[in-house]
Amino acid sequence: MRKLFTAMTLGLGLAAGGASAQNVGIATSNPGSLFHNIGTAVANAANNAGLDTTIQPATSPNQFIPYLNSGGIEFGVANLQEVSYAVTGDAWWNGNVNDNLRLVGMLMPLNEAIFVRKDGDIMSLEDLKGKRMTDGYTAQNTILPQLSAIYATAGMTRDDVEKVSVASVVAGADAFMAGDTVGFIFAHGAGKVREADAAVGGLRALTVADSSPEALAKAREHWPTANFITMPAGSAPGVLEDGVYISFPQVVFTHAGVSDDVVYAMAKAMYGGKADMAGTFPPFNAFNPDDMHGDGGNVAFHPGALKFFEEAGLN
């Protein structure tokens, strides 16, 4: 019987217990977030492939990663940069190393923007100067450097806006909808962005101010895995014209103690489950299964995943 740790103890409700091909968990961010959508889609594909998989939401990966690292749950979804920092103990991990983390597979890139009202007078990042903008992200350490990376493309810093502290991206979107800020940062395609789009009568996703190699280098000073991606008009809420946005890798990951058979089964389910995942969460239409064995940087792939990649010819 898998038990639940109380929110008072860990600040999240994650299922604990040994890995089992019959009953595994995927830790995600909270409902409305991109990683909750992704985790739900992956769980559905895994269930259709024979794994009994449930999602267990927390506020953000920086809350559930130590729990996953210790073996409390089998899988998680996050961006690669956060997992990389967790393995080395860098940035907000303050030397706390999570060296049991292993990759299962690369997903489609996470594309991100600052969103404002479509009918407002903010048309560019520079127009945010002096305005009330979400900041803080006290429960989601990954967001501040991403904000800084976006601002850097316009030669700006977080000090150029009036900071309104929120706990998470979901709380930031709520603050925007309540009229407390002029904008919020979120991943394209997330359910909360669609909610905000409907709530205010339309969003505008602000493009990066400069998409040159020099601007990308400035963005990577804050978020090393950042890239630029062009999204066509109408491809997601707020994308009103063809434009360039920040993009970076996202992953499904696990810990070293999960059996090779369970990780193999998850990797196989992901590889063959694109249709299931896209049916649950349409951004998975951009997922290329043949890219699952991508560059994980300093984060090693689990042997179970490597076994599947070898069989699938993804070496």
pLDDT tens column, 239-261: 999 999 999 999 999 999 999 99
Q: What mean pLDDT is reported for the chain?
A: 93
Specify whether 68 is located in the same domain as 116. Answer: no
Tally of domains in the chain: 2
Based on the domain organization, do 222 and 134 belong to the same domain? yes
pLDDT band at 22 (very low <50, low <70, confident <90, very high): low
Domain limit, last residue, from 217, 248, 279: 248
Same domain assignment for residues 217 and 302: no
Say whether both 96 and 123 belong to one domain: no
The full DSSP string for 249-303 is -EEEEEETTS-HHHHHHHHHHHHH-HHHHHHHSGGGGG--GGGSS---TTSPBPH
Contact 78, 35 (CB under 8 A): yes
Measure CA of the first residue to CA of the last residue in the chain; give whole Å.
38
| 287 and 197 housed in the same domain | no
Task: Please report whether residue 67 resides in a domain.
Answer: yes
Q: Do the domain assignments include residue 45?
A: yes
Q: Are residue 159 and residue 33 in the same domain, yes or no?
A: no
Q: Give a yes or no: residue 54 inside a domain.
A: yes
| Cα separations in angstroms, 291 against 113, 277, 315 | 24, 16, 10
Q: Does an H or E element contain 55, and which?
A: strand 53-57
Q: Is residue 2 part of a domain?
A: no
Please give the single-letter amino acid code of residue 86. Answer: A
CB atoms within 10 A of CB 249: 22
pLDDT band at 4 (very low <50, low <70, confident <90, very high): very low
> CA 223 to CA 276: how far, in whole Å?
31
**pLDDT tens digits for range 206-250:** 999 999 999 999 999 999 999 999 999 999 999 999 999 999 999
Mean pLDDT on 46-60: 95
Q: With bands split at pLDDT 50, 70 and 90, how would you rate the model's confidence at 295?
A: very high
- Give the residue from 197, 220, 248 where a domain finishes: 248
- Domain range for 72 is 7-109+249-312
Are residues 102 and 38 located together in one domain of the fold?
yes
Do residue 46 and residue 76 come from a single domain? yes
| pLDDT score of 262 | 97
Compute the distance between CA of residue 219 and CA of residue 225 in angstroms, rounded to an integer: 9
* 209 and 150 inside one domain: yes
208 within a domain of the structure (yes/no): yes
Q: Which of 220, 248, 276 is the last residue of a domain?
A: 248
Q: Assess whether 60 and 119 both reside in one domain.
A: no
pLDDT of residue 315: 80
For residue 7, name the pLDDT band (cuts at 50, 70, 90): very low
- Is 258 among the domain residues? yes
Is 1 part of any domain? no
pLDDT band at 169 (very low <50, low <70, confident <90, very high): very high
CA distance 109 to 236: 14
In this prediction, residue 20 has a pLDDT band, given cuts at 50, 70 and 90, of very low
pTM: 0.89
Segments in the chain forming alpha helices (H):
7-10, 34-48, 61-69, 80-88, 143-152, 169-177, 191-200, 213-220, 260-272, 274-280, 303-312
pLDDT of 3 above 70: no
Asked whether residue 32 falls in the same domain as residue 43, the answer is yes
- pLDDT digit string, tens, across residues 101-150: 999 999 999 999 999 999 999 999 999 999 999 999 999 999 999 999 99
- The CATH number of whichever domain residue 184 belongs to comes to 3.40.190.10
Mean pLDDT computed over 139-167? 97
Q: Are residues 228 and 139 in the same domain?
A: yes
